[in-house]
Structure 1
Amino acid sequence: MDFRKQKLSIAEAKEMDMVNYLSLLGHEPSKIKGNDYWYRSPLRQEKTPSFKVNRKLNRWYDHGLGKGGNIIDFGIAYFSCSVGEFLNKLHGGFSFQKPLKNIPKIKNEPEHQLKILKEIELSSYALIRYLEQRKISIEIATHYCREVHYELNAKSYYGIGFKNDSGGFEIRNPYFKASSSPKDITTIKNGCDEVAVFEGFIDFLSFKCISRNELNKTPDFVILNSLSLFEKARPFLESHKSINLYLDNDAAGKKVAREALSNSKKYNDHSKLYQNHKDLNDWLVHIGKQQKKRLGNKL
């Protein structure tokens, strides 16, 4: 969901807090002395912490390797990628965990083995800050989401978890997106004859933030978690008198909307509300920026 046409600039990437970023990748400091955060090196195996991040300078140094630098230098070393690849993936929200190298794939084995370790109430500063940047109310987010800690490729991570009807999770943080099995839609039933449909949970949360003081009645909700699950959702959707679509303004979202409208008069396409934006959340963030700009002009 959280994709933009332009990648982050180098200057924007360098402003990202390295301690928060390492935390989201599953690396926590072993000790903290003033502005210095010491870690067991994420770049190699070691028992004694010799990887330091100076939070004031926002720079790192690995004493074992004799190398250091900014977050871009770290990303290039950690993911074995180019500057451009790191900026694209850092900004795009792709699944961005460190790959295992030179390990042959076992036939018929899934490419990623994601295991949920635990789920708790949303409390991570980095995750809450991410939601605030997306203009999502923390009160609304904590009602529908959990903080999910999970293991992938023998490393631990955590993110905002949104549960589907089969018990699997959609997982997001500022740097990647993932999901656990089984994959399914999420239905929220309020006993209404109207239903609102979203591709992902960030757009659903955006809708709740926008409409919390405006709706006369609360509709039912379907979060597809993948456009490929639209057909699976149809029986539930079409049991309602009115079906309101809030799909992405991309080719795939528009195609599904067109097909739905041709299938039944029950469907209503509401994407014109955010027609100049890629999705509902992008529109919400834009509104927030415009309001902040107008407020600044008045001061």
Structure 2
Amino acid sequence: MNCKQFNAIKLEEVLLSLGHHPTKQNEKEAWYLNPFIYESKASFKLDKRNNVWYLHSEGIGGNNIDFIMKYLKASVKEVLEWAEKQNFSSFQPQNIIRSKTSKPNYQITEINELQNENLKNYLHQRGLSTKVYPLVKEIHFIIGEKNLYAIGFENFSGGWELRNPFYKGSLLKKDISVIKLNNESQNQNETGKRIVVFEGFMDALSFVEMKPFFIGDLLVMNSISLLNRTKEYLKIYPEIHLFLDNDKAGETCKTSILKSFPEAKNHSEIYALHKDLNDYLKSKKENKNSIEISNSILKTEEEEIKQTHQIYQRKR
């Protein structure tokens, strides 16, 4: 894919692939909440006819390349490499689901406990077992005229991150997600409370798969555009652990969080040869000695995390 091809793709579709939905729209334009930082008012305007955007809160705009360069904090080359991995309809029509109307129709029809065998098999292919089933839901939904189902992971605002073998997206409002594990007796301001940060929920589930008895909270960003929202939430935690992706976006998030919380602990070296924690988990499960190797690594990590808080705690 080159710049001309990527810029020809409807930006509305690019935004949808990243989990951003318009707050209002008509045939000419659509308005979105700021996709770069957390804001409560829609200041991002999409000109549908010219396929360009303008962010009123910052006074900047541009085409698809400009948008993703800012969104991922990436070069043109990195943007095109990212775009090649997506399934945009303008480039690969058979792989994207689109509405035939100018106003997209997104509707959740059912929210159930995980029952579908296809979805269970998908989790199994990602290296995940029944340990993670209680943390997700089975979501049946409609996009346009298509009836679909996917694994759903809920966020703070009641929105859903959705995954199945053929679909990656989100419905309703975008926000961070927080899971509280084995710590029902702790209150929100208890000293010594710890949190582990991930970009996507598959990585969070992978962590639970490897450390089912972990005590603490897990935060899933769900989008790098929620970095500021993430950092605001982290302020209440004296102990922070990072399991972010080993790519440009993950490095940017890690650097920003460590700048704000210097005592936070980065663990990405554990899976340095892999894109993220889930890729690492899958590779270990595929290895004949996966259980032995994983247990050895987890034991080392457990001993590290159980060290006294003097290394990681923020000074009061």
TM value normalised by structure 2: 0.57
Q: Does the CA contact (< 8 Å) of 2:132 and 2:209 recur in 1?
A: no
Q: Describe the shift of the 1:157–1:169 C-alpha distance in structure 2 as closer, same or farther (beyond 3 A).
A: same
1:276-295 → structure 2 map (5 Å cutoff): 276-291=273-288
Deviation at 1:115, TM superposition (A): 1.0
Residue 159 of structure 1: which of 150, 168, 186 is its match? 150
The root-mean-square deviation of aligned C-alpha atoms, in Å, is 2.7
1:149-188 → structure 2 map (5 Å cutoff): 149-188=140-179
1:58-207 → structure 2 map (5 Å cutoff): 89=87, 96-100=95-99, 105=102, 109=103, 112-138=104-130, 140-189=131-180, 190=183, 191=186, 193-207=193-207
1:166-213 deviations in whole A, cap 9, x for unaligned? 111101001111111111111123336111001111100100011125
Deviation at 1:263, TM superposition (A): 2.1
Unpaired runs of 5+ residues, structure 1, are 1-84
Partner of residue 71, structure 1: none
Partner of residue 245, structure 1: 242
User: What percentage of residue pairs aligned between the two structures are identical?
Assistant: 34
Q: Describe the shift of the 1:135–1:294 C-alpha distance in structure 2 as closer, same or farther (beyond 3 A).
A: closer
Residue 256 of structure 2: which of 256, 259, 273 is its match? 259
The separation in 2 between residues aligned to 1:86 and 1:267, in whole angstroms, is 34
Deviation at 1:261, TM superposition (A): 1.3
Deviation at 1:88, TM superposition (A): 7.1
Q: SS of the residue aligned with 2:133?
A: helix
Q: SS of the residue aligned with 2:237?
A: coil
Higher relative contact order (CA 8 A, sep 6+): 2
Q: Describe the shift of the 1:161–1:211 C-alpha distance in structure 2 as closer, same or farther (beyond 3 A).
A: same
Q: SS of the residue aligned with 1:149?
A: strand
Unpaired runs of 5+ residues, structure 2, are 1-82, 89-93, 187-191, 293-316
Deviation at 1:156, TM superposition (A): 0.6
TM value normalised by structure 1: 0.60
The separation in 2 between residues aligned to 1:99 and 1:116, in whole angstroms, is 16
Q: Describe the shift of the 1:235–1:291 C-alpha distance in structure 2 as closer, same or farther (beyond 3 A).
A: same
Q: Give 1 or 2 for the bigger CA radius of gyration.
A: 1
The separation in 2 between residues aligned to 1:255 and 1:271, in whole angstroms, is 13
Deviation at 1:292, TM superposition (A): 6.2
